[in-house]
Amino acid sequence: MFGAISRRLVTGGALLLAAFLAADAADIDDDLPDLAAQIAQMAAEVALELQQVCPPASPSDQAAFDRCRRSLFGDSALRRSLAPRLLWGRRNQDAAAALENTNLTQFAPDVIAGLYLSLFMYSGEYSIEYVGRERLYLIRLRAGFRNRLPPGQFPYPFWHHEEKWGVYQAANSVLLWVNPKTAKIVIGQFTERGSDSPVVSTQPISPKFDGKWMWMDKEGRIQPRVTLFDGLFRQDNPYLPRLDSTYRTLALRMRDAQCDNCHVPNNPMPMRRLVLMHTPAHAAGEIARLMKAVRADKMPLDDAGAEQPLEPALKRALLESGAAFEELVKAAKDWEAAHRD
């Protein structure tokens, strides 16, 4: 591939790689800051970490998945390399389409690390290049997808969209797009069109979607469990029980405010940049943005996509429940940081 420098195994050489990248970027845009060395080093560190904490395993291996997501959700090299807000989604099926013309979902760093990137396994093989059209660096990671986990281990039923679920199951690469000015990952994608086979072979499955983004299992537990911070926050985190009840109140207020008309995985509007609010983990990542939009009367939107300010009483109730949830999320995360091993 022109402009790409590949590393088949993560064994160092980041400085040499940086020299090639800097020259490549300079040929395309003389105004780029020289962060090539930092980006190359970051790519090597992230690829090595992913190989170590999320290695190839059985696609149904729950223990391997738990180790991976706990590691990435914590103080990981990946987390430190993520921008404060990121976009995520499959690669556009039109290979010529630009990122700006690709439907993607916005996530907070802890959500994309703990709930999405952890669903993949990584061999440590990677390549990096500067893509002039996008004005971004691209890190390609050879990967495979954990399609055999129980349904409650996915952030939502990916199989609600058959084509997207098919791409997830056949994925052989995770793509990380890096801002050359900050050396931070700003977009993540998955694709089945990488140059190698998936790191683990698996047989595709076809679960049936019943229209529910969250549900109750046979034991009376709310699913998906991963969206309730299960396995991400420590069980002795004193804020966990209150987080659940506070989110339930917020969810009712969001329903009253018609938030579920837009901010759900099937993207009914549809929006080019979707924000999900339908589970506690997703809402926790976006609560600050929600509060800002409601205060500024930027949501909800009517059928034509125009801003439609809430009734004063409804707005007040949503802001109150949102503030309570936002405060608890911060307290829970602060507690986790203070008690990190």
Whether the predicted pLDDT of 211 surpasses 50: yes
Lowest mean pLDDT among 22-31, 33-42, 153-162, 308-317: 22-31
* Predicted pLDDT of residue 269: 64
Identify any residues that bridge with 327 across adjacent strands, giving them in sequence order.
none
Q: Who wins on pLDDT, 7 or 329?
A: 329
pLDDT tens for residues 93-149?
A: 888 899 999 999 999 998 999 999 999 999 999 999 999 999 999 999 999 999 999
Chain mean pLDDT for the chain: 85
**Considering the chain, what percentage of its residues have pLDDT values greater than 90?**
54
Two tokens, residue 42 = 């970051």
Which residues have C-beta within 8 Å of that of residue 14, sequence separation ≥ 6?
37, 40, 41, 43, 44
pLDDT tens for 223-240 read: 988 888 776 788 899 998
Q: What is the pLDDT of residue 49?
A: 98
Return the pLDDT at 91.
95
CA 321/CA 323 separation, integer angstroms:
5
What's the pLDDT at 231? 66
pLDDT per position as a tens digit, 260-319: 667 677 765 666 677 777 788 888 888 888 788 888 887 666 554 556 778 889 999 999
pTM above 0.85, yes or no: no
Q: Of 85, 273, 111, 87, whose CA–CA distance to 189 is shortest?
A: 87
pLDDT digits (tens, 9 = 90+) for 170-204: 999 999 999 999 999 999 999 999 999 999 999 99
Q: Give how far the C-alpha of residue 295 lies from the chain's centroid of Cα atoms, to the nearest Å.
A: 26
Rounded-to-integer distance, Cα 249 and Cα 233, Å: 21
